[in-house]
Structure 1
Amino acid sequence: MHFDYSPKTQALLDRLNQFMDEHIYPVEQEYIELVDNNPQRWTTPALMHELKEKAKKADLWNLFLPEEYLPYGAGLTNLEYAPLCEAMGRVLWSPEVFNCSAPDTGNMEVLSKYGSEAHKKQWLEPLLNGEIRSAFAMTEPAVASSDATNIETAIVRDGDEYVINGRKWYTSGAMNTNCKIMVVMGKTDTSAERHRQQSQILVPMDTPGVTVVRPMKAIGFYDEPIGHAEVLFENVRVPASNLLVGEGEGFAIAQGRLGPGRIHHCMRLIGCAQRALDLACERVEQRIAFGQPLSKQQSVRESIAQMHCDIEQARLLTLKAADKMDRYGNKVARDIIAAIKIVAPNMACRVIDQSIQMHGAAGTSQDFVLSAIYAYARTIKLADGPDQVHMMQLGRNLIKDHVGANKK
């Protein structure tokens, strides 16, 4: 068992960190102010497009796509990608610079694996080139979407078309003016076996009957310029060829998509938490209270130590999950994926909260990134399945495995 990154990974990480130092950190606050002051709040600032071109020239592009998707991506394993994703996660908006941001990453994987040649030409290639954005529409306001079989949006065959009716919300990416395509999950056959009722279908944003009702806040943040939309589908008609794979395959596609998506969020959260710890270490040296720097206070030192331990534990579990996915596949690795999806957001929430506390009132202000990354970490306790669902399923699987082992 080796705990050092491979030479390939370390070389990429060095290049990525150099890019972050030269091009991302110096303009971090500028980009945030451009977004905050943009009268067209859902339009991506020109600065992002400039940074994308620099990332392409630096050959730091589509790093998330593994070898099975070559020649589209960088061909990295999950284990190789993990530290890169962590580095990008230190700045909330930076994954987009490298075309590695959600929900586009998951949508590109879905299109690469399940899309037709026509789908790839029309939608995947522009996404791979960073020319357009996309959205993923699964969660619904009227049902508990943590159980995907509850989804009510109807996808009904009518000749050479499918007709879609339903309401989605927290459709990530749908507010951005450059979002051109949605992957929509709904039901094609309510009489089928429970996990064979769902299908996924491609719906262009400009299709008649698609209405973006409103942007949704997440813990007080609109997440401009990407956003999370409430979307209404009223007799939306798309060609039957827009259905991915076939009727009844939607649940399986979703599960395949969410495995990598969950661990990508965990990787980014490690970066968020490490950034929060780094900021805390700087802050406690600078601030004087009761006649000495905060760093001299025993309670502060203990908190810093605990934050470090929590991050290291979560990082190791993330890397172990990534390695197991690479070696044995997502299905075999499902338990450890569930474990890290439980551990990482909770760890990040604790660490970032402690950092905010050490920053005092400033920690809650726009002068630091802490409140924004806390909102992100707290949201991920719900995204891609709430903690309770992962704990329920993990506990069930562990008990089943234990009982099965004892019967042998």
Structure 2
Amino acid sequence: MDFQPSERASSTAKRVRAFIDEHIAPIEAAHWQDIHEARHGGDWTKWQIPPRVEALKAKARAEGLWNLFMPDPELGAGLSVLDYAFSAEQTGRSMMAPEIFNCNAPDTGNMEVLWKYGSAEQKAQWLTPLLAGEIRSVFFMTEPDVASSDATNMAATAVVEGSEIVLNGKKWWSSGVGDPRCKIGIFMARTPNADGGRHSQHSMVLVPMDTPGVEIQRMLPVFGEYDEPHGHGEVHFTNVRLPLSNVIAGPGRGFEIAQGRLGPGRIHHCMRMLGAAEKSLELAIERGLKRVAFGKPLVNLGGNRERIAECRLAIDQARLLTLQAAWKIDTLGVMSALTDVSAIKVVAPNVLQQVVDFAIQIHGGMGVSHDTMLTAFFNQARSLRLADGPDEVHKGMIARLELMKYGSK
């Protein structure tokens, strides 16, 4: 295995970091302060995009720091999953940066789905404006009334009726649906198929947000934060009728598409979390060196030196595990990296949670305020231990794959 980034990947990551340091970091605190002060809580209809966001996006695009996640060189940077990982880590140092480079979730995953599985018509209508950063998107997966950690429990339906497909169901934690630029969603639901197995019973359907029967019920706070202007919504679908041509790759292929979507996306998430962990550790050490209590810098009190060492060990181990998963996806394919992808999905958010918790403790009262990025990082870490499947599901997958080596399931 070779985790060494290519010369182009290394150069790109350095340019991303320089852009963040020069253009994003100086204004980020004011950006989020403006949003907090203008917040309208659950009244998502009043959310707006600050002009600085589009200005920074234009600057990043002009500098060639755009769609870095996309492996197709005609549509994006043409980097492999492994090579992009190094830039993804840098974007994780900022809550603002992923959007500025048009490398933000859930758009990246949705764009990859359209790139891999979309028809020419679907790509022209939705992939092109997403790649241009002109619109945003949402992925409708999680449901409020069933245990969504088992996707086969899904209650929402996508039923074929002649030349149409009819959608019914409830979805929530639909991230990005509060953004006023959100124009398209991918809706995953059951499409009963008597001829297929349990993993051929679902479909993914493109749903324009202005389709009759699509109703945003509310925005859901995460630890009291609405993440505006992004938002996480509960959305109801009532007899939503769409042309059959809106089904991605055809009815019954939802699980197949999901497997292809989640592998690279989890690499992106995990490397961003490690970038956040690095930033948190930096903040902790800088604070610990400057602040003095009982006649000593904080880093020299209690077990803080040992905790700093533990954070360094945890971050570096998690990075190597994530790079290994990326290398396997590039070299062997997603299905050969199932253990690795599940492993990083458990390890990376737990490492970020560990590191940011230490940083919060070092900062004292300041650590639980909006005066640093630490509360946002902690929110991210704890939430991502549930998103895309809880820790327990991924550990179950790892155990199952391990036991299969011994002839047991």
TM-score (norm 1): 0.96
Amino acid at match of 1:49: E
Instruction: Give 1:44 deviation, angstroms.
Output: 1.7
Question: 5 Å matches for 1:6-405?
Answer: 6-38=6-38, 42-66=47-71, 69-189=72-192, 191=194, 192-403=196-407
- Which stretch has the larger CA shift, 78-87 or 189-198? 189-198
Q: What SS does the corresponding residue of 2:307 show, helix, strand or coil?
A: helix
Question: Quick check: 1:219–1:379 contact (8 Å CA) kept in 2?
Answer: no
The one-character-per-residue Cα deviations of 1:307-330 (angstroms, maximum 9, x if unpaired) are 111111111111111111111011
| 1:331 match: secondary structure | helix
Q: For residues 406 and 292 of structure 2, what CA distance do their matches in structure 1 show?
A: 54
Pick closer, same or farther for the CA change 1:41–1:374 going to 2, 3 Å.
Answer: farther
What per-residue deviation string (whole Å, max 9, x for no partner) do you get for residues 94-124 of structure 1? 1000000000000000011111111111110
Instruction: Assess, with a 3 A threshold, how the Cα gap between structure 1 residues 41 and 307 changes in structure 2: closer, same or farther.
Output: farther
CA deviations 1:269-312 (Å, max 9, x no partner) are: 00111110000010001111111211222511111111111111
- Give the C-alpha shift of residue 41 in structure 1: 5.1
Secondary structure of the equivalent of 2:240?
A: strand
Q: Take 2:5 and 2:332, find their aligned partners in 1: how far apart are those partners?
A: 20
Deviates more, 1:154-163 or 1:226-235: 154-163
Secondary structure of residue in 2 paired with 1:186:
strand
Instruction: Tell me the CA shift for residue 139 of structure 1.
Output: 0.4
C-alpha displacement at 1:4, in angstroms? 4.4
SS in 2 for 1:253: helix
Give the partner amino acid of 2:234: E
Identical columns (%):
50
CA RMSD of aligned residues (A): 1.4
CA drift at 1:172:
1.1
Separation in 2, partners of 1:16, 1:96: 13
Distance 1:334 1:219 in 2: 31
Unaligned regions of 5+ residues in structure 1, if any?
A: none
Is residue 35–residue 41 contact of structure 1 (8 Å, CA) maintained in 2? no
**What SS is found at the alignment partner of 2:335?**
coil
Instruction: Tell whether the 8 Å contact from 1:182 to 1:202 is kept in structure 2 after alignment.
Output: yes
SS at match of 2:122: helix
Query: What is the aligned partner in structure 1 of residue 42 from structure 2?
Result: none
Q: CA deviation at 1:8?
A: 1.4
Offset at 1:3?
5.5
Q: Report deviation, 1:370.
A: 0.4
Moved more, 94-103 or 113-122: 113-122
The amino acid of 1:29's aligned partner reads: A
In 1: Cα distance, 2:391 partner to 2:399 partner: 12
Q: Deviations over 1:31-70 (max 9, x none)?
A: 112322336753221111000000001100000011xx34
| CA–CA separation in structure 2 for the residues paired with 1:211 and 1:37 | 27
**Residues in 1 aligned to 2:325 and 2:2: alpha-carbon distance in whole angstroms:** 15
Which structure 2 residue ranges, 5 or more long, are not aligned?
A: 40-44
Which segment drifts farther, 386-395 or 26-35?
26-35
> One-letter code of the match for 2:387?
A
User: 2:105 is matched by which residue type in structure 1?
Assistant: A
Question: Aligned equivalents of 1:171 and 1:2: distance in 2?
Answer: 37
Q: Is the 8 A contact 2:3 2:82 kept in 1?
A: no
